[in-house]
Structure 1
Amino acid sequence: MATILSVSGSPSATSRTARLLEHLDERLRGQGHEVTSLQVRTLPADALLGAEFGHPAIVDAVARFERADGIVIGTPVYKAAYSGLLKSLLDLLPQYALAGKTVLPLATGGTTAHVLALDYALRPVLNSMGPHHILPGWFTLDRDVTVGENGELAVAKPSAEALAEVTDRFSAALGGRTVALAQAG
């Protein structure tokens, strides 16, 4: 099966975006894929902001993109755009870092007014990096993602079903097994 890199562009340690990606990563693993995650917030800020292409953490991140067949990119939406933290990483990647790759963009935000951030802010940047295919992404409202006191993630049913569908399409594009929506849970 495919090797997938799951990238969270959230600056928050308690990010719903990151938790949602972890949830989708498990679904992809269940479909036979090897999934690794990259929390951009864990990269050294001085290397990101100082454009230190040779910093070991940046070199490692670039190598992780190179090894992946597919990339899931998740970001919170702030002021109608993807996170500046994610932008900092994308700026350090080689021009064609996504060449030959299948990409699934995902976003979370507080209002449906930000839904177009995927297509009008993030997609053009990803497209400029030469991917083989960018699947239609998905925007999830913050209120549809909750984390319980015990750390248990809950996703509202309509959002959970939509996320399962886009994740399964991504998996199928990479040659993975898909799970029927009736089994999504």
Structure 2
Amino acid sequence: MSDIVIISGSPSDFSGTGKVLDYLGRLLEREHFSIRHIAVKDVPPEDLIYGNFHSAVIKKISCDIQGAAGVIVGSPVYKAAYSGALKTLLDLLPQDAFKNIPVLPLMTGGSRGHLLAIEFSLKPLIASLKGKSLQGLYFLDSQIDKQQKNPIIDEESLLRTKKQLHEFIEDIKKSNRLAAAL
């Protein structure tokens, strides 16, 4: 099992969302967490389209998420919401797949006009799966350079990211302490 599961809702091979999620994974590995990356583009399309709850791939994803200490869910903004592929994947998970798990939501978009997509679309989805959502991160495309090892090129965004990651780690530690006490 991985300590942290990172889910990318981007259907693209070369997305800003994916690059930021990879970067967060590297930062978390430096903090001695094991990471499992899941990308909707790597899930068999027929499992998603036909709602194959019994797929071995979907069962493995579900098991990995339910065994994780924390989850990061990221998506580009499409029509003021997360990607349809991400929604389809999450629809195939058990209703309480994120139960008692700290979840860091992340979205990328082309304008500040989509800033509230994280609040009005992604966070309610996380809540419906019983996750404990953190504040979340939103990046403008102009704040990301997909060619860089650290793709977050805006200094203020990078500071905000590190602060959110610290809070995420603290929530994981707190959840682990509570679970150990039970």
| TM-score, normalised with respect to structure 1 | 0.89
- The equivalent of 1:179 in structure 2 is none
Shift of 1:90: 0.8
- The equivalent of 2:93 in structure 1 is 93
- Of 127, 143, 168 in structure 1, the residue corresponding to residue 166 of structure 2 is 168
SS at match of 2:123: helix
- Are 2:151 and 1:154 equivalent residues in the alignment? yes
| Structure 1: gaps spanning 5 or more residues | 177-185
In 1, distance between residues paired with 2:26 and 2:166? 12
- Are 2:106 and 1:106 equivalent residues in the alignment? yes
Deviations 1:140-168 (A, max 9, x none): 001111123xx634322111111111111
- The equivalent of 1:29 in structure 2 is 29
- The equivalent of 1:180 in structure 2 is none
User: What percent of counterpart residues are identical?
Assistant: 33
- The equivalent of 2:52 in structure 1 is 52
In 1, distance between residues paired with 2:156 and 2:75? 20
| Structure 2: gaps spanning 5 or more residues | 175-182
Question: Aligned pair count?
Answer: 172
Quote the RMSD (CA, aligned, Å): 1.4
Moved over 6 A (4+): none
In 2, distance between residues paired with 1:118 and 1:100? 20
Shift of 1:137: 0.3
SS at match of 2:98: coil
Shift of 1:32: 2.1
Deviations 1:20-58 (A, max 9, x none): 001011111112211111111100011001000111111
In 1, distance between residues paired with 2:16 and 2:146? 8
- Are 2:144 and 1:145 equivalent residues in the alignment? yes
In 2, distance between residues paired with 1:61 and 1:154? 26
In 2, distance between residues paired with 1:69 and 1:162? 22
| TM-score, normalised with respect to structure 2 | 0.90
Shift of 1:60: 1.2
Q: 1:154 to 1:99 in 2, by over 3 A?
A: closer
- The equivalent of 1:84 in structure 2 is 84
Name whichever structure is richer in strand by fraction.
1
